[in-house]
Amino acid sequence: MNIKKSSIKELENLCAKIREEILRVVSKNGGHLSSTLGATEIIVAMHEVFDSKKDPFIFDVSHQSYAHKLLTGRWDAFDTLRQFNGISGYTKPNESEHDYFVAGHSSTSISLGVGAAKAIALKGEQDSRVPVVMIGDGSMTAGMVYEALNELGDRKYPMVIILNDNEMSIAKPIGAISRMLSSAMASPFYQSFKRHTENFVDNFGESAHYIAKRMEESLKLITPGILFEEMGINYIGPVDGHNLSSLIEILQKAKELKKPVIVHVQTLKGKGYQIAEGKEEKWHGVGPFDLDSGNSAKKSSSKSATQIYSEALLHLAKHDKKIVGATAAMPSGTGLSELMELFPDRFWDVAIAEQHAVTSMSALAKEGFKPFCTIYSTFLQRGYDQIIHDTCLMDLPVVFALDRAGIVGEDGETHQGVFDISFLRAVPNMTLFAPRDEKSFHQAMAFAAQYEHPCSLRYPRGSFMESNLPESLPFAFAKSQLLRSNASDILFIGYGNGVGRAYQSAEFLEMEVSILDLRFVKPLDEKMLLELSKKHKKWFVFSDSAKMGGVGSAILEFLAKEKILHVSVESFEYEDSFITHGNTKLVEESLGLLPHQLAKRVEILVESSK
């Protein structure tokens, strides 16, 4: 179908078909739903007005880009969405020439747009290319957006920014008036009139300038675009995001302005699927579900690590009023929703602002409180400077609880929680530890609550890899726990979820192995490791983390420091590459990390060393 030669009615029918396909595939595969349904008309209008082969189409986070994928040659492959070896749930340039940039974290789009606009200007292509950015209102809560807008408003590069506002309802009378005003504000006549008025006022001296300025300021006080206009960026809107003809008209006029323009578009989350319409977090990202009822597919009966964390923190918070906490726009995903309801004055969602979360919690720690900063491992990367500068430099007792550490499955490269050990281990005053199961998690939380320095504990998405693990002992600073000991030459060292992986791998071996729950990777239990080096010469490390700078690196550094040369170390951590998306078990199988595969690798390595 040639979008640019289609009638509005044909395009509206196309939107309906796109929604049907998104619902069919997401109900089967899982994925992002409410926001991508709401953005369908916007994306169809973008493709009608612009050319995604030459105009950079930049989607913030890009979880709302499913319609874009369907319109750019991936309809037949859409069944593989988020599946192993299938298409990604985010934009990905090596998947399609129509995808300008990899995106998975929020609030990067306008910065990318500014960079693209600079390149276009340097190449002299401003008459034929323009960056088109689509960003949601949630992403506008992050500071990086305003850093980019600040420069854009100063340099005036041509760019069209579509602000997809899906939190406001669209009232028909207001929508009709706003469409009329938006169209007028974007028209060549209005822009020409504005320029001529400015020239006219320039010729009538200071008093005319004063009157015009006061009138302008008064008008801006009642317009929603005051912030953007003050930053030097043209504002158009609000526009009804489900009125295709209006959207196309406004985007065409915004394109013709050859200026930085924000088009404020109001959409309804879940549009076209009544069960999800208007809902907030529940339908943002979903697992497989029944289309007719909206009921989720049967979930695992095992308790998730997030649920254990929530229960442990709730228990601590009920007994200690000094315990506070924050999350960055993920209260349900991190298990803080119940605490925010029970203790609204002590637990906060600070929006998509990880840097702010870290620094504000540091100030609370300075004032004598005990903050639990609860953030996905992948998102803590965004607050790294603040961890160093505002928490660790001051040696403040902030607890960083890192959810979704390790492979996270279908979200893929942008979300894998693999780097936290590597980047936190280098920071002075930081202590790193990890639980292996439910009981040790409660013990780790009890330790964290009374610890008087910065610390971080990590735990996986979903359930722990438990395998009849021995009784957990209470956590003590820098103390490991030997779970199995024998005269074998082989030592399995597990960290966090890696302990269960080590145990399950050992079950596939005929040879005997000793197993250590390392518990702390910084600082290490050096006394225990020295003792074990006298008994075991072949050490194997199990941890859901990057190999470079990870647990194996820490152990090798210790052995080098102690000049222990007779011990060999093999780490089964992740290699130096980004890990693809897909079902976690399939991804681990592709990496050779399933227990039976690890056991085979151990056998081969032991045999080759004889």
- CA nearest 551: which of 508, 484, 502, 505? 502
* Two structure tokens written together for 52: 């995604």
* SS3 (DSSP) at 441: helix
Q: Is 488 exposed, middle or buried (0-12, 13-18, 19+ CB in 10 A)?
A: middle
Residue 147 designated active-site? no
In sequence order, the β-bridge partners of residue 289 are 296
193 contacts: CB under 8 Å, gap ≥ 6: none
CB 424 within 8 A of CB 417: no
* Two structure tokens written together for 353: 């602002």
Count Cα neighbours of 193 within 13 Å in the Cβ-side half-sphere: 7
CB 364 within 8 A of CB 345: no
- CA nearest 32: which of 66, 78, 75, 74? 66
| Given 253, 346, 382, 519, the catalytic residue | 382
In sequence order, the β-bridge partners of residue 349 are 327
Torsion of CA 245, 272, 105, 424, to 10 degrees: 170
CB 542 within 8 A of CB 504: no
Strands, DSSP E only, in 554-598? 568-571
In sequence order, the β-bridge partners of residue 57 are 132
| Given 41, 249, 354, 588, the catalytic residue | 354
**Phi, psi at residue 253, to the nearest 5°?**
-70, -35
Output DSSP code: residue 296: B
CB 581 within 8 A of CB 411: yes
* Two structure tokens written together for 547: 């190999």
In sequence order, the β-bridge partners of residue 260 are 159
State yes or no: cis peptide before 474, omega within 30 of 0. Answer: no
Q: Which residue carries 């399950």 as its tokens?
A: 504
| Given 179, 269, 425, 484, the catalytic residue | 269
CB 544 within 8 A of CB 406: yes
- CA nearest 179: which of 234, 230, 253? 253
CB 259 within 8 A of CB 250: no
Residue 354 designated active-site? yes
Residue 570 designated active-site? no
Alpha helices in 203-349 (DSSP H): 205-220, 226-230, 244-257, 305-319, 337-342
Rounded Cα gap, residues 52 and 210, in angstroms: 45
- Cα 342 from chain centroid (whole Å): 26
Q: Which helix (H) or strand (E) holds 323?
A: strand 323-327
Output DSSP code: residue 387: I
Output DSSP code: residue 406: B
Could you give the residue numbers annotated as active site? 269, 354, 382
